[in-house]
Structure 1
Amino acid sequence: MTTKTTSAPIPATPAPTPRLSGDPTVRGLAALLSVNAVGNGLFLTISTLWFTRGLGYSVERVGLALTVAGLCGIVAALPAGRACDRWNAKSVLTCLHLLQAAAIALYAVADSFPVFLALACLATAGSRANAAARGALYAHVLPPDLRTRALALLRAVNNVGIGAGAALGSVVIVFDTDAAYRGAVCLSAAVFLLALIPLRAIPAPTRPAPAQPPRTARAATTRRGAPVLESGRHVSHPLRDVPYLAVTALNAIVNTLYVVLEVGLPLWLLTRTSAPQAMVGWLLVINTALVVALQVRAARGVTGPVQAARAFRRGGLLVAAACLAVACSADRSPFTATVVLVAAVVLLTLGEVVSQAGSWTLSYDLAPDHAQGTYQGIYQTGISVSQALGPGLLTAFVLPHGIVGWAALATLFAGAALALPATARWAVRELREAR
């Protein structure tokens, strides 16, 4: 964005803040995400029981399949993002929804382990590619001055949808029959097809400019390793964009907070504290409710890379404090351990909503406009790596070492949070020079 300058300062008139309510694009995206979230919440709630009880696979085999699937997910985001830049994010999302619907539907009859493994890889790769394609769609259809607030609203909608799907899954578990589980799996698959209706209603995104220059154009080279046409248009090679890769890595570290919430905290509660086992579910409920209540508020004021980096730093430090609080719950009375764990989840959730508001803005503002899909693919790849490696990190290096392990993890989160602002400034300087 450029501004005119004059010889004398002129008081700026604040531009009116765009309203989310009534925006047809935001409404369409909210409908798409809510439908998706209900299906995801339902499937996540019943999938493990269906895999082990319905299909009859051992916990070890299911764990192996999901680990391999997670590794497949790492390599899926970048190709999806590049496809969105080359063609159209809506078209790519449509194909991915069809793929995911087919893979999940076939779970209902996957009575062969090789077939089950292949389906797990397809479904997980489709999920990570879907996240990258949605990121590209947001970049293409949401105005920059509306994007962060819209994403905060969409994230709250997503959490509500997951909660509704989980509630539906809980009803299925009450019946606890193969027919009920199989029906829930098929319903989850059908939801991906149902989501194509609001997806089709979203206005077609503007097709990005080609990522490659004409053969006749002469190019110079920037310090980012990306050619620049004589007209000044920047042609990016994101895998050589070191500042953006550094921001992606720091974001991936802090995004391990989700593994802490979903894996580390429950295992710690069950094995190292005297808190009631039922608190595992209630801690997740507290997290979901707080995200719904606070995410939009946390995104206010995050309007550029500087504010985003500061928000990310605050969020990362709150996550570090949450890890220290978790460590303090060991060897306490049941009541004290419960109170400390609730406080830890509150800190973790505050860190989550604040850091995510900064993360979204950085992921878009530090990327060139014509290559948003590819850059979102890079960003999602970093998140996929953290989701794949996080459980092993927690179970091998954090939980066995108790308080020392949690303190080391807190140091890692704090270090990433403190390093982010300087890294973001570096990325901004490089992008400005490239432009």
Structure 2
Amino acid sequence: ATSVGVGLTIAGLFGLAAGVPAGRASDRWGRRPVLTALWTGCGLTLAAYTVIGSYAAFLATAIAYAALSQASMGVRNALYADVLPPATRVEGRAHLRMVTNVGMGVGGGFGALALQWDSRAGYTTLILLDAVAFAGSALMVLRLPGTAGRRPAEDTPAGSRWRAVRDLPFLAVTCCNAVLALQYGLLEVGLPLWIVEHTDAPRWSAALLMILNCVLVALLQVRATRGVTDLARAVRAMRRSGLLLVPACAAFAAAAGLGPAAALAVLVAGAVLQVFAEILSAAGGWTVGYGLADARAQGVYQGVFNSGQAAATMAAPALVTVTAIEHGPVGWTVLAVLFVGAGLATGPAVRLARRDDWRGE
């Protein structure tokens, strides 16, 4: 298990490095062909998991899948910018996230069946079904109307093509968003460990909180996004997200030492606060990610922005472990300070990013 974990961490590093070059490729050759190739590659590498027989082969497969999967996310987000009108772009992302949460629930059900079956045939079937889903998605991208996602290289000035990687104010906004995105790791990794090791809440509480999160996000994300229509409102949403995570962290910390029923009730209250923080940070992040990007190099900008979130996903398990899991309430306090600091810093960072003289206009 340790070797697999190390291998997946190494693969994640390659995934971080893949986002920006893939975004540049989509700016040059178009979103549709690049995203189709990336998702086809994801399907092939997933299928390869069923035939590998050595650690070296596992590592190569994991690296290939992580790079292709992570690269596809920034290109996908840039494609949204091309096919969705600016006025409805963020709300469209909210609808897509709602569908994603439903898909996660369905996928979790298939995963539960495979775990219950607990056979090589079951796991192989599950992996191959996932590979087929990637292939089907790639075909859907090709069927998008018109010239969606086409960005001929000659239409993009040379100075704009890699601009995102040297746009310091945009990178600062990306960092603020990445810190707020640590809350996803908090839910997926930190809370299950906290519940099992430090509280008397039932062990199934972790699954209950995950289900609660998926349901509430699916129900509330679209509604929350409708009020975030410009950069000023996006800044307020991200600031409120950071502030909401303070009582959420306090509730999680307070669950330690309580009886099973009381601990579960406090954990649920904290999880509900975290959901509101999540939907606000998502809506604000989408708005600033698109609103501050150079439309002539949308692929590179979305690649950079998404790489920040990917870095947070990688860092979250270790960060949550060395803070909350190892140091209890003090660690939860450190996380709360990080969240509120990122939320408050978003405003100044966005103001800097909107100043033309900082962005080389």
Q: Which has the higher helix share?
A: 2
Quick check: TM above 0.5?
Answer: yes
* 1:66-104 per-position Cα deviation (integer Å, ceiling 9, x unaligned): 111111111011111111111111111111111111111
Q: Is residue 350 of structure 2 the alignment partner of residue 429 of structure 1?
A: no
Letter in 1 for 2:50: A
Q: Is residue 266 of structure 2 the alignment partner of residue 340 of structure 1?
A: yes
Correspondence for 1:411 among 306, 329, 337 = 337
Correspondence for 2:254 among 328, 332, 340 = 328
Correspondence for 2:5 among 59, 63, 66 = 63
Matches within 5 A, 1:15-414: 59-203=1-145, 204-208=147-151, 210=153, 213=157, 237-414=163-340
Letter in 2 for 1:151: R
How many angstroms apart in 2 are the aligned matches of 1:213 and 1:77? 21
Number of corresponding residues: 359
Q: Residue 310 of structure 1: CA displacement?
A: 0.8
Q: What TM-score do you get using the length of structure 2 for normalisation?
A: 0.95
* 1:137-169 per-position Cα deviation (integer Å, ceiling 9, x unaligned): 011111110101100000000100111111122
State the SS of the aligned residue for 1:108.
coil
Change beyond 3 A, Cα 1:75–1:432 = closer
Q: Residue 429 of structure 1: CA displacement?
A: 2.1
**Which has the higher relative contact order, 1 or 2, with Cα contacts under 8 A spaced 6 or more apart?**
2
**Max Rg structure:** 1
Letter in 2 for 1:136: A
How many angstroms apart in 2 are the aligned matches of 1:258 and 1:142? 26
State the SS of the aligned residue for 1:385.
helix
Letter in 1 for 2:252: V
How many angstroms apart in 2 are the aligned matches of 1:174 and 1:100? 26
Letter in 2 for 1:352: E
Q: Residue 212 of structure 1: CA displacement?
A: 5.4
Q: Residue 236 of structure 1: CA displacement?
A: 6.0
Indicate conservation of the 8 Å contact 2:241/2:280, yes or no. Answer: yes
Q: Residue 213 of structure 1: CA displacement?
A: 3.7
Letter in 1 for 2:299: G
State the SS of the aligned residue for 1:134.
helix
How many angstroms apart in 1 are the aligned matches of 2:245 and 2:28? 37
* 1:168-201 per-position Cα deviation (integer Å, ceiling 9, x unaligned): 2222222221111111111111111111232122
Letter in 1 for 2:26: C
Q: Residue 280 of structure 1: CA displacement?
A: 1.2
How many angstroms apart in 1 are the aligned matches of 2:307 and 2:358? 25
Change beyond 3 A, Cα 1:144–1:432 = farther
How many angstroms apart in 2 are the aligned matches of 1:163 and 1:278? 16
Give every structure 1 segment of 4 or more consecutive aligned residues whose post-TM-superposition deviation is greater than 6 Å: none
Letter in 2 for 1:382: G
How many angstroms apart in 2 are the aligned matches of 1:383 and 1:65? 20
Change beyond 3 A, Cα 1:206–1:64 = closer
**Unmatched tracts of structure 1, length 5 or more:** 1-58, 215-226, 228-233
Indicate conservation of the 8 Å contact 2:162/2:300, yes or no. Answer: no
Letter in 2 for 1:393: L
* 1:40-87 per-position Cα deviation (integer Å, ceiling 9, x unaligned): xxxxxxxxxxxxxxxxxxx11111111111111110111111111111
Letter in 2 for 1:181: Y
How many angstroms apart in 2 are the aligned matches of 1:328 and 1:186? 43
How many angstroms apart in 1 are the aligned matches of 2:335 and 2:359? 36
How many angstroms apart in 2 are the aligned matches of 1:206 and 1:399? 44
State the SS of the aligned residue for 1:195.
helix
How many angstroms apart in 2 are the aligned matches of 1:235 and 1:81? 10
* 1:330-375 per-position Cα deviation (integer Å, ceiling 9, x unaligned): 1111111100111111111110001100100100110111111000
Q: What TM-score do you get using the length of structure 1 for normalisation?
A: 0.80
* 1:100-121 per-position Cα deviation (integer Å, ceiling 9, x unaligned): 1111101111111110011111
**Unmatched tracts of structure 2, length 5 or more:** none
Letter in 2 for 1:323: C
How many angstroms apart in 1 are the aligned matches of 2:63 and 2:31? 22
Indicate conservation of the 8 Å contact 1:366/1:428, yes or no. Answer: yes
How many angstroms apart in 2 are the aligned matches of 1:429 and 1:252? 22
Q: Residue 299 of structure 1: CA displacement?
A: 0.1
State the SS of the aligned residue for 1:76.
helix
Indicate conservation of the 8 Å contact 1:319/1:410, yes or no. Answer: yes
Letter in 2 for 1:294: L
How many angstroms apart in 1 are the aligned matches of 2:178 and 2:290? 16
How many angstroms apart in 1 are the aligned matches of 2:152 and 2:277? 36
How many angstroms apart in 1 are the aligned matches of 2:98 and 2:156? 37
State the SS of the aligned residue for 1:429.
coil
Letter in 2 for 1:170: A
